[in-house]
């Protein structure tokens, strides 16, 4: 992925996207088990920082948001409603600046379908989580994205057009157990726990 097209950039930073994140995705994450104060949270693909604002309600011990687009990180750093958040420019498929087993929770709002190396992103998420850490992720699948692109031409990469089966198989392969899934066509929202290695 290089950058979102201008139309998607406007939509992602617009009020409708905020509404869905605030009223549907974040509440479903909480319903599926995202709770507890004092957590070390990593948000992968934090965009302009609205997720950081929502996650600040959990009063985390630390919050780091990473994104590959410099303009997103600039916007996120300008927010004044998430004072202790840290935003870093980083490729989610290669998060080597984040130490192994240093996070309790990883959150993904809607990014894997942009990233041809989405499999590596999930394995990086597994690496940075502590044993028994949890990932919460929300994504559309490949057929929904193809249908969308047919009309709107946002140009999502074909290599990231995964099926639900692909996504769940990769979660298992990198050491997660899916605990809960919520189907909200064309999205799914997952809670998956890192399976402790013997």
Ligand X SMILES: C[S@@+](CC[C@H](N)C(=O)[O-])C[C@H]1O[C@@H](n2cnc3c(N)ncnc32)[C@H](O)[C@@H]1O
Residues that bind ligand X (CB under 6 A): 1, 4, 12, 17, 21, 45-47, 51, 66-69, 72, 91-93, 109-111, 114-115
Query: Can you tell me the distance from the alpha carbon of 85 to that of 41, in angstroms, rounded to the nearest whole number?
Result: 10
Reported residue count of the chain is 198
**Closest residue by beta carbon to ligand X:** 47
Cβ at position 68, least distance to ligand X in Å:
4
Query: Can you tell me the distance from the alpha carbon of 120 to that of 16, in angstroms, rounded to the nearest whole number?
Result: 30
DSSP string of 112-132?
GGG-TTHHHHHHHHHHHEEEE
The CA–CA distances, whole Å, from 21 to 7, 18, 170 equal 18, 5, 25
Instruction: Indicate the residue among 51 and 60 with the shorter CB distance to ligand X.
Output: 51
Placement of tokens 């799914």 in the chain: 188
Instruction: Indicate the residue among 114 and 194 with the shorter CB distance to ligand X.
Output: 114
> Is the distance from CB of 88 to CB of 64 less than 8 angstroms?
yes
Instruction: Indicate the residue among 39 and 54 with the shorter CB distance to ligand X.
Output: 54
Cβ at position 197, least distance to ligand X in Å:
26
Cβ at position 110, least distance to ligand X in Å:
4
Cβ at position 198, least distance to ligand X in Å:
32
For residue 5, which phi and psi values (nearest 5 degrees)?
Answer: -70, 160
Query: Can you tell me the distance from the alpha carbon of 87 to that of 156, in angstroms, rounded to the nearest whole number?
Result: 24
Instruction: Indicate the residue among 4 and 174 with the shorter CB distance to ligand X.
Output: 4
Instruction: Indicate the residue among 1 and 39 with the shorter CB distance to ligand X.
Output: 1
Cβ at position 196, least distance to ligand X in Å:
27
């Amino acid at each position: 992925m290089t950058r979102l097209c201008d139309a998607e950039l406007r939509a992602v930073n617009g009020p409708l996207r905020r509404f869905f994140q605030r009223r549907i995705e974040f509440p479903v994450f909480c319903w599926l088990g995202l709770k507890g104060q004092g957590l070390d949270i990593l948000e992968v693909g934090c965009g302009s920082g609205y997720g950081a604002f929502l996650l600040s309600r959990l009063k985390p011990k630390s919050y780091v948001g990473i994104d590959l687009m410099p303009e997103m990180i600039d916007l996120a750093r300008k927010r004044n409603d998430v004072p202790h958040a840290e935003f870093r420019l980083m490729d989610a498929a290669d998060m080597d600046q984040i130490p192994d087993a240093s996070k309790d929770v990883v959150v993904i709002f809607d990014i894997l379908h942009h990233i041809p190396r989405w499999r590596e992103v999930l394995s990086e998420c597994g690496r940075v989580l502590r044993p028994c850490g949890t990932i919460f992720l929300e994504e559309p699948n490949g057929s929904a994205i193809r249908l969308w692109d047919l009309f709107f031409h946002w140009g999502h990469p074909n290599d990231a057009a995964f099926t639900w089966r692909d996504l769940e198989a990769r979660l298992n392969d990198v050491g997660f157990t899916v605990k809960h899934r919520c189907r909200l066509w064309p999205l799914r929202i997952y809670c998956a726990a890192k399976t402790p290695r013997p």
